[in-house]
């Protein structure tokens, strides 16, 4: 076993404690997990506004959201992510518990958000927005795909701070012992940081390069790159992440994360092929 185990940088999961509140209501703890969601949406909103006003990223006659429209889009996406993420966790990972305790499905402060559920919820929100604005759904999806890695990066950092979703036991020099009885005293991969690096920083950089290369001029290309990149990154990271034996482990080394991400990667590859082969209809 490695003697170069890194100490876990214990961070108070409560970033700000607002209070005392009036009427004897105590205080309002604002956790890093909540700030990650808030920060992700705010930064994605700012990034979208930056993109839609730059004509160089778009074809001449290509319809796109307005700056004001981005304000509405982020609301649609936020509701989709939160509702879909929670429903995904309830229905995919722990349905028996929530069928027995249905009111807990609404207790978001207790945690439990599934990325793939949030992805589908965001897709529904984007489709509703695109329909209401008379915009191509792939164009709206591309705009969201390019900005999504910001939230993924912040979310994985919040997972690390909490801590949750830690890695499998290992003897690599950068292994950490996570301060949670469920993790035991075994050195483990900091898999949350692996995911933050791949799903957030690396995928965000790839999409930035694609944006600069004209990806938005081919509707569906950026969405395909995101789906392929996330699917591959998540599948790779699942080999280092400790699956919950009751909720995530499927046997033979497979996990629920792999089972949901591989089809996403295949769909992304097909979408990339469709976008590249399709003749542009814009000047």
Q: Which residues are annotated as a binding site?
A: 156
Question: Max alpha carbon distance in the chain (Å)?
Answer: 64
Q: Under a CB-based contact definition with an 8 Å cutoff, are residues 27 and 17 in contact? A: yes
* Gyration radius (Cα) of the chain, Å: 20
Q: How many angstroms from the chain centroid is the CA of residue 175? A: 24
d(CA 201, CA 251): 31
- 114/117 Cα distance (integer angstroms): 5
First to last CA, the chain: 61
Measured in whole angstroms, the distance separating CA 137 from the mean position of its chain's CA atoms is 20
Burial 93-106 (b: 16+ CB within 10 A, else e): bbeeebeeeeeebe
Q: Which two tokens stand for residue 160?
A: 């690390």
- Is the C-alpha dihedral spanning 42, 46, 48, 52 positive or negative? positive
């Amino acid at each position: 076993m490695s003697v170069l185990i890194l100490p876990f940088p214990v961070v108070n999961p409560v970033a700000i404690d607002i209070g005392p509140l009036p009427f004897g209501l105590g205080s309002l703890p604002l956790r890093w997990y909540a700030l990650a969601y808030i920060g992700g949406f705010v930064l994605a909103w700012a990034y979208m506004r930056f993109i839609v006003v730059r004509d160089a990223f778009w074809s001449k006659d290509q319809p796109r959201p307005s700056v004001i429209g981005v304000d509405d889009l982020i609301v649609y996406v936020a509701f989709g992510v939160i509702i879909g993420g929670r429903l995904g966790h309830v229905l995919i990972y722990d349905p028996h518990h929530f069928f027995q305790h249905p009111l807990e499905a609404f207790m978001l402060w207790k945690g439990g958000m599934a990325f793939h559920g949030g992805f589908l919820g965001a897709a529904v929100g984007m489709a509703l927005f695109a329909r209401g604005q008379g915009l191509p759904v792939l164009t709206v999806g591309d705009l969201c795909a390019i900005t999504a890695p910001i939230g993924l990066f912040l979310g994985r950092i919040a997972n690390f701070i909490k801590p949750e979703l830690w890695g499998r036991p290992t003897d690599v020099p950068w292994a950490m012992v996570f301060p949670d009885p469920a993790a035991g005293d075994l050195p483990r991969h900091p898999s949350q940081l692996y995911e933050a690096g791949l799903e957030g920083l690396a995928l965000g950089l790839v999409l930035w390069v694609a944006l600069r290369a004209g990806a938005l001029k081919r509707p569906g290309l950026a969405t395909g790159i995101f789906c392929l990149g996330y699917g591959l990154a998540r599948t790779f990271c699942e080999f280092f992440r400790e699956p919950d034996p009751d909720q995530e482990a499927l046997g033979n080394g497979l996990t629920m994360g792999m089972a949901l991400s591989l089809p996403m990667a295949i769909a992304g590859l097909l979408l990339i092929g469709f976008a590249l082969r399709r003749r542009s209809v814009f000047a």
